[in-house]
Amino acid sequence: MIELYQVSIIKIMLGTLNSTQLTTFRASASNGEFLVTAEVAPPKGGNPQHMVEMAATLKGRVHAVNITDGSRAVLRMSSLAASVILQQHGIEPICQIACRDRNRIGLQSDLMGAHALGIRNILALTGDPVKAGDHPDAKSVFDLESVRLLQLIGKLNNGLDSNDKPLTDGATDLFVGAAVDPQCRSWSGLQKRFERKLAAGAQFFQSQMITDFEILDKFMTQIAAGCNKPILAGIFLLKSAKNARFINKCVPGVEIPEPIIDRLEQAKNPLEEGMKIAAEQVQIAQQLCQGVHMMAVKREDLIVPILDMAGVKAVRTV
């Protein structure tokens, strides 16, 4: 007799497989297409309606939607649960998994669960420090960090657990990516970290917010050249000059140039100007790398208009 929870899983997986709206992010990456992903935060609470509505605006315009995992150490719904909800609505997710809150047992459990529920795309992250978030007295775990998490996922995909013991009920099949920060001040450190993530099995890279495209060009030609893995440039919607100055002050490693801040300051409509800036950056990225990762915190509904301004067309289903 099939148990009720098994029926639920089967329904979720069948709904995913039958949806004509889903693109296959892995196949699009392998085909060398220009990739577009976007970031959506899970809800803070039990009602996913707003998250679903924001993600729904991206249907047909992005290859996949990133669901964050306690970004900035701020409490949100489980990224795995939120990813399954999006998948049920015909939106292909990239489920972010961070090492901060789980030991290797918990990480493996969630990764096997992701596979069983039809989630295939994973972004492996170390995770932001607890002190940066809204529960500064919480205890961090950090049993692993992103490189070792990538290695662990490679083992699961090969039918082994972290102790090299066989998975008796089947291997996972996860398409795993990693973060990269081309604007890292230590060029040698950036290169070593990037090469370690490649060696550990990263199949795609999404960058932190890019503000210096000359540095991105240098990264692509000097470090990433010949890696044959898609690199998506992080494009962030700046809403005002105040917003840009706050990011410069509070986000480590980010330095938004003064000419951009001046444009926002002098604009009659700073939000529209921010959209124009983001669209211009998308067009620059198209000449340098294989994709963009769009970030528009609390204004995900503006991502499609930005893509329209940049001339990026609907994604091709595969």
Q: pLDDT tens for residues 277-318?
A: 999 999 999 999 999 999 999 999 999 999 999 999 988 754
What residues have CB less than 8 Å from 170, skipping those under 6 apart?
159
Judge whether 318 lies within some domain.
no
Find where tokens 């795309």 sit.
121
Do 54 and 61 touch, CB atoms closer than 8 A? no
DSSP code of residue 160:
B
**Domain holding 115: CATH number?**
3.20.20.220
What residues have CB less than 8 Å from 310, skipping those under 6 apart?
278, 279, 280, 282, 283, 286
Helix 104-116 / helix 146-157 crossing angle, nearest 10 deg:
50
Tally the domains of the chain: 1
What number of other Cβ atoms are within 10 A of residue 167's Cβ? 16
- The number of C-alpha atoms within 13 Å of 219 and in the hemisphere containing its C-beta is 30
Q: Which domain holds residue 70?
A: 4-310
Judge whether 315 lies within some domain.
no
Judge whether 303 lies within some domain.
yes
Task: Report pLDDT digits (tens) over 114-153.
Answer: 999 999 999 999 999 999 899 999 999 999 999 999 999 9
Tokens describing residue 5: 């929870």
Judge whether 100 lies within some domain.
yes
Task: Report pLDDT digits (tens) over 217-250.
Answer: 999 999 999 899 999 999 999 999 999 999 998 8
Judge whether 223 lies within some domain.
yes
Judge whether 317 lies within some domain.
no
Section 154-181 average pLDDT = 98
Judge whether 52 lies within some domain.
yes
